[in-house]
Structure 1
C-alpha cells in the first residue's frame, strides 16, 4: 500500500513541478487523499489496489471507446503481436481431446531445429505429464514460453514410433508474422495479405515485395480485410513503398497534441509503381484505414470491398507504477485530404459503438451500396483526379463488393462457432499425413489435384455429431461447397504452412475475384486513378 501511495504522490509532485497547479493537479491530490482515508480509516479489510484498478476502469469507461486500462498481467500478452515476437519453443499448436498437438513447428525456430514435427503430441513437459488434466491454452503458454536461452524438456508421442521421444529445446525469440500470405495470384499479379501493422511489418513487406518481383510481379493486390490496425509508424512507412517521396500519408491532431504530419520518404528502394488494388472490409481499422485512405486520396490505387470500421483515434500507451498501463486517446487521424476516419460515438457508450456493425448489417449496408448514406458535410475530393470521397466513418471503397452469405446456414454457423471445422481438419490431416505428403509433395500438385470428397464431409458431420451438433441436411446442402473449400484450405495450411490457406480460399472470394478483374481490365477503371 505504501508503494501505491508513493506512486500517487510522485505523480502529484510531477504535476506541481511542471507548474500544472490547476484543477487537474488539485483533483489528483484529492484522489490521493481519498485513498489515504480509505486505507487508514475504513472499518473492514479492503483490497485498495483492486479498488484503484476498478476506479481507473470506470473513469476510462466514461470516455471514448478506445481509451482502456491494461492490467500488469495483460500488458505483455497485448504487446507481443505488435512487437512481432515472443520467447518460447516455436510451435503452432492445438489442444484436441485433452492432448497437445503440434500443428506446425515455426520455420527456423528452436523446435524445428531439434526435429519436432507436425502431428507430434507433447505428452510431458519438464517431467510432468500434461495429458488428461484439462489443459488450456494459457497453461500451454506458461509451460512452453520463457526467457531466451532457457531449456524445456519434452516427451513426444509420434505416430508409428515407439517408445516416446525425448527432446531438449532451448527457448529463443519466436517471430509473430504480420503477413499471412505473399504469392503470385496470376502471372504478373502479386498478392500480399497483412493481418496487422506491427514493428516487423515493414521488413516483412519489403521481403514480400522483393520475393514477388523476382517472380516477375508487375501489379499488386494488398489485402487488409480483418486487419484491425496496429502501429501508426508501420502504416505510414509501408505507404512509402507505394507513394512517391514527399506525399502526405496521414496527420494527427488533438486538443493537447499539435498537428503532426507524416510524409512518405525514401526507404532504401524505389516505391512500387505498378497497378495497385487495396481490399478492405468492415474489419479493416485504424492503421489499415490510414494506408487505404492515403492510397485513395492520392489516386494511387483502387480500393475494393466494403466500408472500413472507422477507428481514427490515436492512443498513447502510458505506464503506471505497478507495471500496468493505460491506452489513452490523445488525437485523431486525418487522411491527406483532411478526412476524419473516426466514426461517431457517444462518450461512455461502448456497447452502442461496437454494435455499429450489427446496425450496418440490419440496414443492408453490407449487401447494397445504396444503403450507405453520408451527409454533404463529409464530402471531400481526392488530390489528383478530384473524385468524390467521404469522411467521418471509415474509408468507403471505390468499388463496392457485397458480403456473400449465399453459402451460410445455421448449421454452418454452429460448426464455425464451435471450432469443430478447425479441429476436424487437424485431426484428419494428422491421420492421413504420410499418405498426403507422398501423393502431394508440393502445394501446386495438391491444389490442382486434391478434392474434398463427400466421404470426407461425412466424416466431418459424424465428428460434429460426436460433439452434440446434430446433422442438418438442409444446412448441409446450403453450405456444402463452402465447407469443402474451407477444409481444403485448412488441410493445405496443416500440410504446407499458414499462407497456403489463402491460396485455396481466395479463389472463391468475391473481393479477390473483383480485384483481379479490376487489374485485368484497368482501362475500364482508369478514371479512378492517376
Structure 2
C-alpha cells in the first residue's frame, strides 16, 4: 500500500492542449492533503511550465516529471481551486501509505439508511479496512449499499471474493463459485503456474492473512440481495470481478457511471532477473460461466458496444469533480440515490457540472473519465501462488 508521490491522484481529462489535469482525491495526511489540495482542483502550472497550453517537449517533460516524479526533488504546483481561487504549493514527493477504503458513511441514517464506501485498491491492507467498513454498515442496519469503484483498477482477486461475500452473505454464496479461472486449451484441468488442479475461487468467508487481522477469522456480512456500483473507465479487473461474481449468484447489480475498462483476464506476477512480468494467462468466469466482458460492463443507457450480457441496469453519468466523494449531491452518488428512489427505473435528468460530468441534450461529446496517472500494476487481477 505504498506509492511514491504527493498523495494526490491526478486524472488527465485531456492530454493535448488545452489540457485538463484535475485531482480525483487525496490520501489522508499526505503532502497534498496537508497543502490544501482537494478533489476537483485543476493544475495550471508545474515548476513554471504551462500545464494547459504548453506544447514544447521541454514543457511536456517538466509536466510529466512533476506529475509522476522519479526522485525526491521538490516541485511547485499552481492550481485553480473549485472555489475559483488559485493555490500555489511546493511539495516534495515521498513514500505514501495509501488508504484504499475511504468515505465510509451512512446516508439518511434515521429514515432509510444507505451505506456508501469508496474502495480504491485491492491491496493487502484493504482487507482489514473493508472488514471495519462492513461492520460499521452492518451495525447501522443499512437497507442498501452504494459501492464506489470508479477509481479501483483491481488487485488481489481473493480480496474481491471477500468483499463480494461480505455484501451478499452466506444465503446466496454458500457452495457457489466466485470466479473460475480458465487457461488455454492446453491446460483444461491443471493450473500451469502452480501445477495443481484448477480449483475455482470461492466466496471467501474468512480473513486470509492479508492484513493485521489473523487468518481464518469470520467475515461480517450485510446479506443484501442488490448493490449499486459506481464505475468508470478506471474500474478494472478485480473490481469488475466483484460485479461479475455477484451477478453470477443472482445478486442484482445496478451500475452508475460509465463503462468499465474491460479486463476479464489476469496473471500471476513472475520475477526474472530483477524484473517482474505480468503476462495475460487466464480468463475469469462467474458461477454462470460468464466472462466475456472484454469491452467492459456498461449501464443500459450507455451507447458503447459491449456484450449484451455485460449491459447492466443503471445510468450513464460522468464524473463530478465539483463535489467531494461521498457528498450526496455529487453527480454519480446523487444518480445512484435517485435511481434507487425511482424503483430502479428512472435515471436523473442530465446536467452539466465540473469537468467530465454528464452532459445536457444538445451539448457535444460524452462523459469523459480521463486517464488516471498510476502504475499499471494497479490495474490488474492478481492471484496468489499459495504453494
Q: TM-score, normalised by structure 1?
A: 0.42
| Deviation for aligned residue 1:189 | 1.4
- The alignment status of 1:325 with 2:265, answered yes or no, reads no
Question: Which of 165, 181, 187 lines up with 1:252 in the alignment?
Answer: 181
Structure 1's 194 and 260: CA in aligned 2 closer, same or farther, altered over 3 A? same
1:109 CA drift (Å): 0.8
Change (3 A) 1:206 1:311: same
- Aligned residue number for residue 142 of structure 2: 217
In the alignment, is the contact (CA less than 8 A) between 2:181 and 2:283 conserved in 1?
yes
Question: For 1:98 and 1:285, how far apart are their aligned partners in 2?
Answer: 25
Matched residue count:
297
Q: Structure 1: where are the runs of 5+ without partners?
A: 1-83, 344-352, 374-392, 406-415, 417-485, 520-530
Taking only aligned residues, the RMSD between alpha carbons, in angstroms, comes to 5.2
Q: Is the 8 A contact 2:115 2:137 kept in 1?
A: yes
Q: Which residue of 2 aligns with 1:302?
A: 252
| Aligned twin of 2:227 | 278
Give the distance between the partners of 1:313 and 1:117, measured in 2 at CA.
35
Between 1 and 2, higher relative CO (CA 8 Å, sep ≥ 6) is seen in: 2
Q: Give the Å deviation of 1:315.
A: 2.6
The 1:212/1:516 distance shift into structure 2, 3 A limit, reads farther
Match of 1:492 in 2: 323
Between the aligned partners of 2:62 and 2:145, the Cα distance in structure 1 is: 41
1:241 is paired with a residue whose SS is helix
From 495, 505, 509, the equivalent of 2:331 is 505
> Residues 381-420 of structure 1 correspond to what in structure 2 (within 5 A)?
393-394=309-310, 400-401=313-314
Match of 1:492, SS state, is: coil
Please report how far the alpha carbon of residue 86 of structure 1 lies from its aligned counterpart in structure 2 after TM superposition.
1.4
Gaps of 5+ in 2: 82-86, 192-196, 208-216, 345-387
Q: 1:142 to 1:302 in 2, by over 3 A?
A: same
CA contact (8 A) 1:250 1:333 kept: yes
Instruction: Work out which of the residue numbers 98, 101, 109 in structure 1 matches 2:30.
Output: 109
Q: How big is the shift at 1:196?
A: 5.4
* Counterpart-to-counterpart distance in 2, 1:112 and 1:226: 18
* Cα distance in structure 2, aligned partners of 1:215 and 1:228: 29
Deviation at 1:190, TM superposition (A): 0.8
Is residue 232 of structure 1 aligned with residue 157 of structure 2?
Answer: yes
More strand by share: 2
Is the contact made by 1:89 and 1:169 (CA closer than 8 Å) also made in structure 2? yes
Aligned pair in 2 of structure 1 residues 229, 278: CA closer, same or farther (>3 Å)? farther
Distance 1:304 1:120 in 2: 31
Q: Which residue does the alignment assign to 1:292?
A: 243
Q: Is the 8 A contact 1:101 1:120 kept in 2?
A: yes
Using a 3 Å threshold, how does the CA distance of structure 1 residues 90 and 141 change in structure 2: closer, same or farther? farther
1:190-201 alignment to 2 at 5 Å? 190-194=115-119, 197-201=122-126
Counterpart of 1:185? 107
- C-alpha deviation, 1:507, in angstroms: 6.0
Q: 1:87 to 1:220 in 2, by over 3 A?
A: same
Tell me how far apart the structure 2 counterparts of residues 121 and 108 of structure 1 sit (CA, whole Å). Answer: 20
CA deviation vs aligned residue, 1:159-193 (integer Å, no higher than 9, x gap) = 9xxxx988674623252x55575433333211234
- 1:139 aligned onto 2:139: no
1:158 and 1:140 mapped to 2: Cα distance?
16
Mapping 1:152-167, distance limit 5 Å: 152=74, 154=76
- Check conservation: 1:94, 1:102, Cα contact below 8 A: yes
